[in-house]
Amino acid sequence: MPSNIVVPEVGESIVDARVAKWLRKEGDSVAAGDPLVELETDKIDLEVAAPTAGVLKRIDHKDGADVKVGDVLGVIEESPGAKAPGAQGAQVPSAEVPGAQGAKTRATPSARKVAEQNEVDLKSVKGSGDAGRVMRRDVEKASVSEAPPQPVAAKQEEAKKPAAPPLPPAPQRAPGERSEERVRMSKRRATIAKRLLEVQSTAAMLTTFNEIDMTAVQAMRARHKESFKERYGINLGMTAFFVKAVIGALRAFPRINAEIQGDEMVIKHYYDIGIAVGASEGLVVPVLRDADLMSFADIESQTRAYAKKAEDGSLSLADLKGGTFTITNGGVFGSLLSTPILNPPQVGILGLHTIKDRPVAVNGQAVVRPMMYSALTYDHRIVDGSEAVRFLVRVKELIEDPGALLLE
């Protein structure tokens, strides 16, 4: 009896997807629950598993095809006595399914890409994900461990040199050659492009700037980093300070924590702060829900967990849904100054940048301080310029006097 492989419902906001890669080919034997095909959506990537044991009889939509929720991706001819996943005894051991011994190792799309780039055999990598799934970090760890050992003297000499980014190999090109390459955008990249264009044509975006003296925060981190890590098992970073400072400023200027619906302003009295994370497939913004109720340790831990999931491709829709305000940090890539673009329907986004020692005037004296430029992009339709400027000043005040965060 045939069983259809269907594009599943992932969430209300996702109606279509793209077939990224079939993990099996027509004629392969599969067990119930085996991953069959990887799908890309504009928010997350996912695997579709075999609904029952049998043989992959037909593939209706090949790699690269665009599909919609409910479309039939292919058909499995069920084996006699096969049961669907979730039923008692539905999980069929791979040894009992003909051909299952040659099944591909379960791995995320990003893990497969890194394995291919570094020539790592996925079968030799121990997975740390759910049910032993191989994650990107597992492949990266394996690729490092497989590198040939270096002599001690060479390692010591390397340690003295400043790290420099590796240069790509110079392309071999004949005079007059004008080669080009066409690369289809992923669903996520195409959606990012579409939404960035939409927000620039629908919102009245304006950006205001300020600079922040990071001396006090750096001193506080230095005093407490050891005890913080010993107590919570994580490093005390910058994220928690800025999340708390942003919440304090949003309380003072609530219209920056709002959105526009028709001719009404919906002002949020809760604080779901989005943290922009750069991933290989494009920027994603997981959300710290009820961030005002979170401790410094909660914020740092959750942010690091999101960063790992973004690289692994394992972020869920629940991780990305909603958000009332966004923080983006181009400083981690070395950006000195930028104008961030709004994350609709939000009306405010804070841009952070790299920290540089610069001479500044303090009490009439020139001193060198660790300084950071900050930028607030806001929707001028409901946020006045004076509000935006004072919001950014309030963030500056709280960061420069981090003890005041306790009063917030």
pLDDT score recorded for residue 101 = 41
**DSSP annotation of 107:** B
DSSP element (H, E) containing 279: strand 277-279
pLDDT at residue 400 in the model = 96
pLDDT, tens digit, for every residue of 360-386? 999 999 999 999 999 999 999 999 999
Residue-level pLDDT at 128: 72
Sign of CA dihedral 395, 397, 401, 406: negative
Catalytic center residues: 380, 384
> What's the confidence (pLDDT) of residue 296?
94
HSE-up (13 A, CA, CB side) for residue 34: 28
* pLDDT in the model for residue 12: 62
pTM of the model: 0.70
Query: DSSP per residue over 292-330, as a string?
Result: GG--HHHHHHHHHHHHHHHHHT---HHHHS--SEEEEEG
Record the tokens describing residue 19, joined without a space: 């077939």
Handedness of CA 20, 45, 70, 57 (dihedral sign): positive
Name residue 168's amino acid: P
Cα 298 from Cα 302, distance rounded (Å): 6
- pLDDT, residue 301, reads 95
Token pair belonging to 167: 């240069």
Residues sharing a CB contact under 8 Å with residue 178, sequence separation 6 or more, in sequence order: none
Nearest-angstrom CA–CA distance, 246 and 243: 5
Give me the pLDDT at residue 133, please.
72
Strand partners, 365: 362
Structural domains in the chain, CATH included, are 2-102 (2.40.50.100), 105-141 (4.10.320.10), 205-406 (3.30.559.10)
322: Cβ contacts below 8 Å, ≥ 6 apart: 272, 287, 289
Give the three-class secondary structure for 181: coil
Distance CA 204, CA 379 (A): 5
Instruction: Report residue 19: phi and psi, to 5°.
Output: -75, 110
* DSSP 3-state of 99: coil
Alpha helices (H) in 74-209, listed in sequence order: 109-118, 136-145, 152-160, 187-202
Q: What is the mean pLDDT of each run of 10 residues along the chain (408 residues)?
A: 86 79 90 87 83 90 90 85 44 37 62 75 76 73 59 51 70 85 85 86 94 96 93 93 97 97 95 89 88 95 91 84 94 93 95 96 94 97 96 97 83
pLDDT at 13: 67
- CB count in 10 Å sphere of residue 309: 19
